[in-house]
Structure formats: C-alpha cells, structure tokens
A = this chain, B = another copy of it.
Amino acid sequence: MTMTVIRSEIRPGAYYDSAVLMQLQRGLLGLPGVLDSGVVMGTPANLELLEQSGLLTDAAKKAGVNDLLIVVKAESEPATSDAFAQVDSLLARRRSTVAQEFRPKSLETAVQQLPEAGWVLVSVPGRFAAGVAREALNLNRHVFLYSDNVSLEDEVALKQTAQSKGLLVMGPDCGTAIINGIGLGFANRVRRGAIGLVGASGTGLQAITSHIHTLGSGVSHAIGAGGRDLKSDVGAITMHQGLDALARDPDTRVIVIVSKPPAPEVATRLLAAAQATGKPIVVDFIGYPPPARKLGNLHFATGLSEAAEMAVKQLSVISDQSLITVPLITGYLRGLFSGGTLAYEVMLGLQAVLSPIYSNTPITESQNLPDPLKSQAHTIVDLGDDVFMVGRLHPMIDNDLRLRRLRQEAADPEVGMILMDVVLGEGAHPDPASELAPAIKEIRDQRPEIEVAAIAIGTDTDPQNLESQVERLKAAGAVVFRSAAEAVEYVARRMTQRPGSVGVPVALVTLNRPLAAINVGLESFYASLVGQGAQAVHVDWRPPAGGNEKLAAILAKMKKK
C-alpha cells in the first residue's frame, strides 16, 4: 500500500463559472502524481460527494456554500504542493484560450453590440440568475433561463413581468429549446417541420423532438417552460404563452405539450386552452392519468415515444369532426349514474376540462360531493352507492330514485345538461326506456335549454332490445352514446369554457425571424449558437462585487441612492 496525501484549500466567496471549475479539476488530475481531485462549491451535498470519493479532509469540512473548495489527493507531499502551486496558472491558462477583446462586460453593452438579438440565454449560477433575467426583460428580450436553483418567487415575478410585455421566460431550469431551427442550451439537431412543442421538461422535449426527426418529420419551434411552470404558483404562464403562439403560427400544424403531472386546476385551464386552439394537440403529462384517449382535438399519449408517434400521425389527418364549432352549453352538468365505474370514467374524463366538479365517486379528495343527495356546480352522482342502497333495489332495476333526482336537477336553474347511463342486460330493468323516456321528454318540453344525454350500455342480444331502447330515448329528446368515452368527448366539446387571455401575446415575428441571441454564462452555449449559424454575443459576465454577497448588497444600496 502506498502512502497518499490529501490536502484542501478554501477560497471564500470566490466566483468561477462551472466550466472553469471543471477545467481546473481536469487540469489538476492531469498533473504528475495526482490521484484524484475535487473542485467544488462547499455545499453539504458536494462535501458528502467528496467524502464518498475519499477526498473530504477535516479542513475541507469548514467550507461554506459560497466557498470554492479545491482538494487534491496525490502520491506524495511534493506532488500535492506542486499541484496547488499550479491552481492559479491553470485558471489563468483556461482564460487565455479565449479572445477577450470583443466581449461586452454587461448585457446593456451586448444589446448595443447586437441590437437584433431577441433572446438572452442565462446560465449563470442560480443566485445571480434572476437578476440577469430581470435585466434582459427590462431590455425587452425573451429569456432562456437555463440556470437552476432559482427561487419560485423569482420565477413567478419574472414570468408575470414577461407576460405583461409579450415576452417569454423559458425556465428556470430550462434545459432545451429550438427556436426557428436553432437549438438553445441542450438541443438535438432536428429537421424543420410542422410540429410545434411546449414542454416543462427538458429531456422530454429532447426525446420527443429526436423521435419526431427519426420518424421523418420535423419541428417548427420547441419552447421550454421550466420544470415548475405547471405548478399552481406559476399557473403555467409560459406554457399558456407558448401554446397561444404556436396556435397562431401558420407553420405549426400539430402541437405537443409535455410535462410532469400538472396541478389539477392548472391542467384543467391548460387543456381548455389547448382545446380552444382547434389544432390537433398531443398531450403527454407524464404520470397524469389520461382523461381519455381523445377529447376532441386533444390526443393523450402514454410516454415520450408515443407522443412523437401521435404527433407525426396527426400531421396526416386531414379533417377532424371535432374541430367543427359547436354552440357552447352554459350552466352545469349533472350526471346521474347507475353504474359506479361508468360514473368514475366520466368523472376522470371531465375533471380534465370542467371545474369545479364534484362526485360521490371522486378522483381526488377535493372533488368529494359533501351530500350525495344534493348536486353542486358540475356533479356526477353514482346512484348505486352504498348510501342509497339500504333496503332499496339497485338503480339498474328500480328507476324511482333516478326519476326523482332527474326532476330535482331539471328544476335547478343552473343546470345546462343532464347525463345518465342506461345499462341493459340480464338482471336489469326489463324496459328502462319506458320509465326514463317520459321523464326526459318532460324535461325537454319544460326546459328545452337543458340538454339530456344518455350512455346506453348493452348488446343486440340483450333482453331489453337495445335498438328500441336507444330509439325511444332519442325520440324523447336525448342524445344517445354507446360508450362513456364518446359521451365524455361530446360533453367536453359542448361545455369546456374558453379560457381567458394569456396577457400580451408573444409577437410571432420574434420567433420566426433569424435567431440572434446574447449569452450570459456557459460559454459552450455561445459556441453552440455560433456553430449553428446564429448571430450571438457572449457577455464576459462577473457577479456583482465578485460574488461577495455582502459587498453586493452594499453596492446595490448605494446604487439606489
């Protein structure tokens, strides 16, 4: 066993960009006698990582989150000393590979240098990122905010400002975007085409755009939103803006939206907006139970590959019945079901577009109908629930309970549509239409503005005569479907409320003209832009007061005065 020496050095409050730190670490590793090295900021996670690599010394444990920590493990004491002696020259050597003279030191100067730049890419460390993004918005530029570790409050504030100015803030923690053929951050080289994407998920967008390319199709724009955009606090501001822009973009024929599961109310508003675009929309909310396979122009994918496949397939679908405009029903939906699972499937489908919706067979706790005997807002009731069933026949056999509830709902001035199931077969009522059809007719006669729809479940060999049941329900004035899925799709089309404005719309020209950008942070992103033929300027950015936060605060105060 050889003797090894580990030594560390702490540089308090020093700022270096992450690429510089990586280069330093690699430089140290390349020196003679050096066995391992760590160059990190002194966060608890980084200290633990050093410990796992056998690089944590007692001295190193004292490093704070804003301190740079350099550790070298070497074969001998002299090798360690030699390595540390070269730290500064290694840092300096890296710098000298880049020509500095033409580099602006501030965003303001950079904008003067490249006035046509519509975009600012921000990849500085998280604690400085919001400030740079704010500056970019003040200069009326879209922001691609790659940085992570940005607070939720900053995100909301930035996005609200952007929204009021018709600007996009993609991020924070936005890994990827493709605007007018140019990749920002991490982006695969894909064919131009008619599929537009908005994603709160970086590798989600990368996987889908790559697969679209592999399938022979292409991408108009892929807009990133940042992983938290669909949380309640943010309310999907960026995804709404992106969706709206792609809906207006004549070169985008199919839209894909992708995200981890959104907050329920955010999903509802977003899907309503997606429906209102009229364009085919493929939705992949990974881990969100799809409300249906298809809801009008919305197509729900299971997984990233399938999302790409469905989008490509939609490109070749010429006309879509669902796109025909139908008059909207105002008022609430009341669903009166005898089948618990049918109620549940309808609930699952409609919760995506109708809100608030309640049920005694709820999907989430907040949808629980306090009193199953009284509807409120949109309501789906399972009349076969245990609570109704003490000493009473099931509503598939005995229509009494449903007939009374039908009259109750029809008397409610807030009701716009009543939906029910009619389940045929052995054991069920021998002729449900004989009792339900007159009740439907009564409603349609007295309140013709209330639409009545029925889902008939059965076969052509069932004892009740399916065809005659359906005919009599129709004759009474009901719209009749043969599955819950069809009914859900119909109700969604008739009752989804058009969402409100997304603020000042993003001007399409800012997306569709040749991309020019200012890069603040990782130099490799600048190199990538230039390599792709985009005009770009890299800012030689330094944190305020060299990263010393106390000093920065004093400077900021002085500036205000």
Contacts and interface: CB of A to CB of B under 8 A. Distances in A.
Given A290-B302, A304-B345, A425-B189, A340 B392 contact: no
Given A288-B289, A304-B485, A340-B203, A373 B461 contact: no
A187 B463 CA distance: 11
A84 interface: no
A390 B204 contact: no
A65 interface: yes
Interface of A: 16, 18-19, 21-22, 25, 40-41, 43, 45-46, 48-49, 52-53, 65, 68, 125-126, 148-149, 173, 175-176, 183, 185-190, 201-204, 206-207, 210-211, 213-214, 227, 258, 260-261, 286-290, 292-293, 300, 302-306, 338-342, 344-345, 348-349, 363, 371-373, 384, 386-394, 396-398, 400-401, 404, 408, 421, 423-428, 457-463, 482-486, 522, 524-525, 528, 531-532
Given A202-B340, A286-B345, A373-B49, A462 B304 contact: no
Top 10 A-B pairs, shortest CB-CB distance: A203-B339, A41-B391, A204-B341, A188-B425, A201-B341, A183-B426, A186-B427, A189-B461, A305-B483, A203-B341
Contacts of A404: 49, 52-53
B206 A43 contact: no
Given A65-B390, A148-B389, A185-B427, 16 more contacts: A40-B392, A45-B387, A46-B391, A126-B389, A176-B425, A186-B394, A186-B427, A189-B459, A203-B342, A203-B423, A203-B457, A204-B342, A287-B289, A287-B348, A304-B341, A305-B483
B287 A400 contact: no
Given A286-B344, A341-B202, A459-B210, A302 B305 contact: no
A133 to B, nearest CB: 17
Nearest to A484: B304
A428 B175 CA distance: 10
A18 B397 CA distance: 11
B345 A18 contact: no
A348 B186 contact: no
Contacts of A22: 392-393, 397-398, 400
Nearest to A68: B391
A260 B525 CA distance: 47
26 contacts: A18-B391, A22-B397, A40-B391, A49-B388, A49-B401, A126-B390, A149-B390, A173-B386, A175-B396, A183-B427, A186-B396, A186-B423, A186-B426, A187-B425, A187-B426, A188-B457, A188-B462, A189-B461, A189-B463, A203-B423, A206-B339, A207-B483, A286-B348, A304-B342, A304-B485, A397-B524
A302 B303 contact: no
A483 B215 CA distance: 13
Chain B CB within 10 A, most for which of A207, A214, A341, A389: A341
A302 to B, nearest CB: 5
B426 A341 contact: no
Nearest to A483: B305
B393 A19 contact: yes
Contact of A459 (B213, B260, B340, B408): B213
A427 B524 contact: yes
Contacts of A43: 387, 390-391
A22 B206 CA distance: 62
Nearest to A408: B52
A425 B186 contact: yes
Contacts of A125: 390-391
Contacts of A398: 18, 22
A185 to B, nearest CB: 5
A47 B19 CA distance: 73
Given A260-B341, A428-B186, A483 B211 contact: yes
Contacts of A189: 425-426, 459, 461-463
A105 to B, nearest CB: 22
A424 B401 CA distance: 62
